[in-house]
Amino acid sequence: MTNTLNNSVATLNLSLERDIFLRTLIRELSGTLHDVVGLEEASGFLSVVGGTMGRQLNQDYKSALEVSNLSRKQVADVLVDLKRRIQGDFYVIEQNDEKIVLGNRVCPFGDKVLNRPAICMMTSNVFGTIAANNLGYAKVELQKTIAQGDPGCRVVVYLKITEEAEDAEGREYFRGVESV
């Protein structure tokens, strides 16, 4: 009887595997944080994780490219590539010495990001940490996000303190240090 039950359970048509489980776990964790401590504090907790991941990814890419520092073009390429590797669909809209503007058609968290804007702090912190640690400064503005119901994302990574950057609502990053 036990074997029959085990076999029937094992053949159930469930969309459950490691990726979905982990994305759901992050969604529920960010939702619980949001409900308990509020959006700003939940975003802060996820920012800490994003910063740590950003430092590790930055080192991984620099090691793989065998460089001590990434150029602006390499930073843009790395931001797009790292999201591609985790099944996002980021692309460069514009880039110059002052900013990198990115679009995104698919969130790596899929539908698990909907109504969970705190999860976007992972993107902000990973992008900001990589840009600032290579170029000295970054301010990341999440202008549009799938999490907030937009059809895609628009992320601006300011690389210099300009009037436009100062007017933008975003999070600032400095080489080796994060600030709000």
Residue 43: pLDDT band (50, 70, 90) is confident
pLDDT score, position 3: 58
pLDDT > 50? residue 170: yes
- Pinpoint the alpha helices (H) of 12-162: 18-37, 39-65, 72-85, 120-135
Picking from 13-17, 111-115, 162-166, which range would have the lowest pLDDT averaged per residue? 13-17
Direct distance between the N- and C-terminal alpha carbons of the chain, in angstroms, rounded to an integer? 60
pLDDT score, position 177: 53
